Amino acid sequence: MSKVDELRNTFFEECSELLQEIEVGLTDIRDGRGTDDTVHAVFRAAHSVKGGAGIFGFETLVEFAHVFETVLDALRHGTLAASDEVLVVLLGASDILSDLVTMARSGKPVPPGYDNECRSALNRLIDANGDGAAASNGAGSEAAGDFDGIDFMPVRADDFGEAEASGERVFKIAFRPRAEMLKKANEPLYILRELAKLGSLELTADTGALPRLSELQPDNAYINWTGTLRTAKGRQKIEEVFEFVVDDCDLEIVEELPEGTAAPIAETALAESCDAIADSTPPVPPANPAANGSTKAAAEMPARPAEAADAPKDGAAAAAKPAAMTTRVDLEKIDRVVNMVGELVIAQAMLGQVVRELPEKMTSRLQHCLDEVIHHTRELKDSVMSMRAQQVRTVFQRMPRLVRELSAKTSKNVRLEMSGEATEIDKTIIERLSDPLTHIIRNSVDHGIESPQDRRAAGKSEQGVIHLSAGHRGGRIVIEVSDDGAGINGERVLKKAKERGLIDANAALTEDEISNLVFLPGFSTAETVSDISGRGVGMDVVRRNIMDIGGRITLKSEPGRGTTIQLSLPLTLAVMDGMVVEIGQDNYVVPISAIVECMRPTRADVRNLLGTAGTLQLRGAIVPLVHLGDLFGIRGAVRDVVDGVVIIVEAGEGARLGIVVDELRGHQQVVIKSIEENYGVVPGIAGATILGNGRVAFILDVDRLSNVAGAEMENAALPRAEPAIMARPS
Amino acid sequence: MAHAAALKVLIVDDQFSVRQMIRLALEEIGVRNILESENGRDAFDKAVSQPLNLIISDFNMPEMDGLSLLRAVRSHQTVRKLPFILLTGRGDRDLVVKAAQNGVNNYVVKPFTNAVLREKIEQVMGKLS
């Protein structure tokens, strides 16, 4: 990849951030949360897209961004009101801009007229605003990329400063230095010399105030100058000459306009900032300017009124987004590091094993060093993982547009609220989150939120709200999609499930269980297959996708109140903290994040109530037990619960489960290797890892263990995976 | 005649990719000493704290925009004559007019070729070698 190609990619990454900024900003403005800063930020983002697109030569993008930017500029300057209609057009424009960026990125040509409709809508906004010329001509008319007709004269640096060369102008100048000016080491002579450089200068010195030599104070000002300057330069240039002394002198600059032109414009800020001419201090120049012995340091750069007025505006807009130092690194490189860290963790575990087998007198120092290594490896792992982490924002940002399009299609009024976009998750999870989340949101709009009429009838506001949130909870990431729609119709779901034979006709289910039937394969409640969802891809696929990335999905629904779907996801798919346990001859790993406590139960704690596994009385609560030895058919596992150790784990939805194992072997970081990729899905097993002794251990899928165990009680259909077959790390 | 290799140029733009593209173009011309700033405020600090030969600045930036930077530079006693080239997009005519009034030395319209950038710099700095 050439350097330019790399930079182009960087530009597109910047674009997705900028587009996001535009969309979020516009949404905020629409929802009344926008401030002036928001408008500025949106404008600047659109401008940046245009600027970058310009550098990389994406013509269509530049032209569209220009029109977009012009409307935003009108919004920014308050000449266009942020009405609902305007925001609909602007949000549409942000979608088109995003499409154009995508096309530019993929190298696909933009279909002719693709942005026409939106562009005309934007132009109409400007035209209605009486400011049409700027945008409609804008980018297109200056195809040569030059601004002909501006009195712009590029000049050599050593001859700096002249941009206006539009014929000679005449300025009358009155300059009366005050003593303060000299005390600040500003020399009138130099100023006059500078002034003379601007053109032909005729000055008269008024020496009337000059005292006798014996009374003369060398550091006082006694002389005034008046005269005319004929120059091709503008007022600006003249003011610049005086700009360091403007507070310490009386200055008048009046342009003598040719006959027939309007009266002089109001005095400039510069002249205004000079004190009134009628100042009581008699302006007197020094007798000998060169002898002016003031050693005071030069005055600081005076804050010019014009700049002072501009600065807060720009500064405030920027304050909303603190600049962060970032470097862009190819993900492949990070992935390589992640893999190496994984191998390092394994190698370190093996080293630890060897150390433990050495005679004790040799090991103490070695163990000390090893502990250091373990500590650093852990930090290394955490740092690398955080590098891979991305904000869920990257997935969330696609959703507002989805909701907008869907609500337009279904004629529903839906607002999407988002929170926790900054929550970070491993990149691999993020990548695989987009499809399920899109599907869930489609469902929410299509099936969840009712039509405005139905909502009104139900006493709700016409606008439905879908809330998308993300956050950390108990070592996992929880993403929630909740809507305030009609909720799931339990009766209909139950009827359908029974019709399809998905559940027993006599089954008695709780409300939650009924709601969760929608996750069953072959279940689809949509009576008509709509254009949006219900295209044969059901919630079972969504659940499958989520489970594939180590997540779980739960659904809660209240008829008439809405539905909440919760995704619980692991932080990372590569490395985790695990408790190594022994069952028979085999080792298994229980994710530390799931473990509540470990205990050796007494006979009195155990009740053999349900099936064979029994339950545990734990401080008054009843915890179902799972015999891993029985479940997986492991030879040599302890038969009696009281001979083993019970690990209390928290499965999905806070349900607790006691896993019976022979012995605990210790806490260890394990590198997760996929079983699915090498063998297939094994219920109850989340993956495999290589332990320090080089042996393969399976990582338990605690959430699914309870289901598996439940099913096992009824039929012994669980596939008995042969470790020998599966012991191939990916 | 100015030696390109002896020039110290400050690029000001809030977009990383744009800065790098300009850097690339400058390096092609032979400029070796290149500084970057993400906004006008930082650029101004850099400009007044070390000798520079040229500023190439975008207009629209957070913190302090290009025009404010230009004004700040032109108002500063020691750096007021620092050559300043404005980066602009097509259609930003008003901006160029405003910048011209504020003493910008030249402007470059995006996208530009290396030859154009060189030409614009030479118009300001004299022939480059």
Q: Do B90 and A323 touch (CB under 8 A)?
A: no
Q: Which fold has domain A575-726?
A: OB fold (Dihydrolipoamide Acetyltransferase, E2P) (2.40.50)
Closest-CA residue of B relative to A40 is B62
Of A51, A142, A155, nearest to B105 by CB-CB distance is A155
Question: CB count, 10 Å around CB of A537?
Answer: 13
In 3-state terms chain A splits into helix, strand, coil percentages (rounded to 5) of 45, 20, 35
User: Model confidence over A507-528: pLDDT tens digits?
Assistant: 777 777 787 778 776 676 554 4
Q: Do A10 and B123 touch (CB under 8 A)?
A: no
Distance from CA of A177 to the nearest CA of B (A): 19
More confident residue, A310 or A498: A498
Tell whether B77 lies on the interface with A, counting CB pairs under 8 A: yes
Scanning A592-631 for CB atoms below 8 A from B yields none
**E strand spans, A284-361:** none
Dist. CA A335–CA A333, nearest whole Å:
5
Q: Report the pLDDT value the prediction gives residue A711, as an integer from 0 to 100.
A: 60
Tell whether B68 lies on the interface with A, counting CB pairs under 8 A: yes
User: Do A229 and A198 contact (CB within 8 A), yes or no?
Assistant: yes
The gap between the terminal CA atoms of chain A, to the nearest Å, is 30
Give the bridge partners for B87, in sequence order.
B108
The packing angle between helices A360-388 and A331-357, to 10°, is: 160
| Tokens linked to A290 | 């060169």
On chain B, the residues whose CB falls within 8 A of the CB of A66 are 89-91
User: Do A502 and A517 contact (CB within 8 A), yes or no?
Assistant: yes
Dist. CA A524–CA A539, nearest whole Å:
8
User: Model confidence over A538-566: pLDDT tens digits?
Assistant: 777 788 788 777 777 888 888 888 899 99
Q: Of A305, A158, A297, A254, nearest to B71 (Cα)?
A: A305
Tell whether A56 lies on the interface with B, counting CB pairs under 8 A: yes
Cα dihedral across residues A406, A412, A415, A416: positive or negative: negative
- Looking at this protein, which amino acid is placed at residue A462? E
Q: Which fold has domain A3-141?
A: Four Helix Bundle (Hemerythrin (Met), subunit A) (1.20.120)
Tell me phi and psi for residue A294, to 5 degrees: -60, 130
Domain boundaries, chain A: 3-141, 157-306, 331-391, 393-570, 575-726
Q: Do A154 and B123 touch (CB under 8 A)?
A: yes
Cα dihedral across residues B113, B119, B124, B127: positive or negative: positive
Q: Report the pLDDT value the prediction gives residue A574, as an integer from 0 to 100.
A: 67
Average pLDDT of the residues of chain A: 75
Q: How confident is the model at residue A469 (pLDDT cuts 50, 70, 90)?
A: very high
On chain B, the residues whose CB falls within 8 A of the CB of A15 are none
More confident residue, A155 or A444: A444
Dist. CA A39–CA A60, nearest whole Å:
24
Averaged pLDDT for residues A264-282: 38
Distance from CA of B116 to the nearest CA of A (A): 11
Q: How confident is the model at residue A147 (pLDDT cuts 50, 70, 90)?
A: low
On chain B, the residues whose CB falls within 8 A of the CB of A51 are 13, 15, 18, 58, 60, 87, 89, 110
Q: Report the pLDDT value the prediction gives residue A289, as an integer from 0 to 100.
A: 42
Query: A211-215, A486-490, A705-709 — which is least confidently predicted?
Result: A705-709
Dist. CA A446–CA A531, nearest whole Å:
9
User: Model confidence over A326-346: pLDDT tens digits?
Assistant: 677 777 788 788 878 878 888
Using the predicted structure, report yes or no on whether residue A467 has a pLDDT greater than 90: yes
Tell whether B113 lies on the interface with A, counting CB pairs under 8 A: no
User: Model confidence over B48-67: pLDDT tens digits?
Assistant: 888 888 999 988 787 788 88
Chain B interface, mutation test: which of A44, A56, A160, most B Cβ atoms within 10 Å? A160
Q: Report the pLDDT value the prediction gives residue A730, as an integer from 0 to 100.
A: 38
Distance from CA of A165 to the nearest CA of B (A): 10
User: Model confidence over B88-110: pLDDT tens digits?
Assistant: 876 677 788 888 888 888 888 87
Tell whether B6 lies on the interface with A, counting CB pairs under 8 A: no
Of A3, A317, A321, nearest to B24 by CB-CB distance is A3
Give the bridge partners for A263, in sequence order.
none
- The C-alpha R_g of chain A, in whole angstroms, comes to 38
Q: Do B90 and A51 touch (CB under 8 A)?
A: no
Q: How confident is the model at residue A129 (pLDDT cuts 50, 70, 90)?
A: low
More confident residue, A567 or A153: A567
Using the predicted structure, report yes or no on whether residue A161 has a pLDDT greater than 80: no
Q: Report the pLDDT value the prediction gives residue A194, as an integer from 0 to 100.
A: 82
Tell whether A165 lies on the interface with B, counting CB pairs under 8 A: no
On chain B, the residues whose CB falls within 8 A of the CB of A68 are none
Task: With H, G, I as helix, E, B as strand and everything else as coil, classify residue A448.
Answer: helix
Q: How confident is the model at residue A148 (pLDDT cuts 50, 70, 90)?
A: low
Using the predicted structure, report yes or no on whether residue A383 has a pLDDT greater than 70: yes
Chain A interface, mutation test: which of B68, B113, B128, most A Cβ atoms within 10 Å? B68
Phi-psi map region of A397: left, alpha, beta (phi>0 left; psi -120 to 50 alpha): alpha
Q: Of A702, A700, A619, nearest to A657 (Cα)?
A: A702
* Strand-strand pairing, B54-57 and B106-109: unpaired
User: Do A252 and A271 contact (CB within 8 A), yes or no?
Assistant: yes
Q: Report the pLDDT value the prediction gives residue B36, as an integer from 0 to 100.
A: 92
User: Do A607 and A615 contact (CB within 8 A), yes or no?
Assistant: yes
Cα dihedral across residues A499, A503, A505, A511: positive or negative: negative
Using the predicted structure, report yes or no on whether residue A475 has a pLDDT greater than 80: no
Averaged pLDDT for residues A399-407: 86
Q: How confident is the model at residue A465 (pLDDT cuts 50, 70, 90)?
A: very high
In order of A11, A99, A273, B117, the CA distances from A5 in angstroms are 10, 20, 52, 20
User: Do A589 and A579 contact (CB within 8 A), yes or no?
Assistant: yes
- Residue B33: which domain range? 4-125
Of A147, A234, A298, nearest to B77 by CB-CB distance is A298
Average pLDDT of the residues of chain B: 85
Closest-CA residue of B relative to A4 is B21
Using the predicted structure, report yes or no on whether residue A277 has a pLDDT greater than 70: no
Q: How confident is the model at residue A605 (pLDDT cuts 50, 70, 90)?
A: confident
Using the predicted structure, report yes or no on whether residue A42 has a pLDDT greater than 50: yes
- For tokens 């003598």, name the residue: A256
Using the predicted structure, report yes or no on whether residue A73 has a pLDDT greater than 80: yes
Dist. CA A562–CA A557, nearest whole Å:
6
Chain B interface, mutation test: which of A55, A105, A159, most B Cβ atoms within 10 Å? A55
Closest-CA residue of A relative to B117 is A55
Q: Report the pLDDT value the prediction gives residue A447, as an integer from 0 to 100.
A: 84
CATH number at residue B93: 3.40.50.2300
Q: Report the pLDDT value the prediction gives residue A712, as an integer from 0 to 100.
A: 56
User: Do A79 and A59 contact (CB within 8 A), yes or no?
Assistant: no
**E strand spans, A74-197:** 169-177
- Looking at this protein, which amino acid is placed at residue A591? P
| Tokens linked to A710 | 């439940």
In 3-state terms chain B splits into helix, strand, coil percentages (rounded to 5) of 45, 20, 35
Domain A393-570: CATH architecture, name and number where available = 2-Layer Sandwich (3.30)
Tell whether B100 lies on the interface with A, counting CB pairs under 8 A: yes
Query: A13-17, A316-320, A417-421 — which is least confidently predicted?
Result: A316-320
Dist. CA A616–CA A641, nearest whole Å:
10
Q: Do domains A3-141 and A575-726 have the same CATH topology?
A: no
In order of A355, A377, A667, A672, A694, the CA distances from A345 in angstroms are 15, 7, 13, 11, 12
Q: How confident is the model at residue A588 (pLDDT cuts 50, 70, 90)?
A: very high
Using the predicted structure, report yes or no on whether residue B122 has a pLDDT greater than 80: yes
Using the predicted structure, report yes or no on whether residue A320 has a pLDDT greater than 80: no
Q: How confident is the model at residue A630 (pLDDT cuts 50, 70, 90)?
A: confident
**How far is C-alpha A181 from the geometric centre of its chain's CA atoms?**
52
Query: A236-250, A400-414, A434-448, B28-42 — which is least confidently predicted?
Result: A236-250
Look at chain B and report how many structural domains it folds into.
1
Q: How confident is the model at residue A466 (pLDDT cuts 50, 70, 90)?
A: very high
Q: Report the pLDDT value the prediction gives residue B55, as an integer from 0 to 100.
A: 92
Averaged pLDDT for residues A359-379: 83
Q: Do A164 and B101 touch (CB under 8 A)?
A: yes
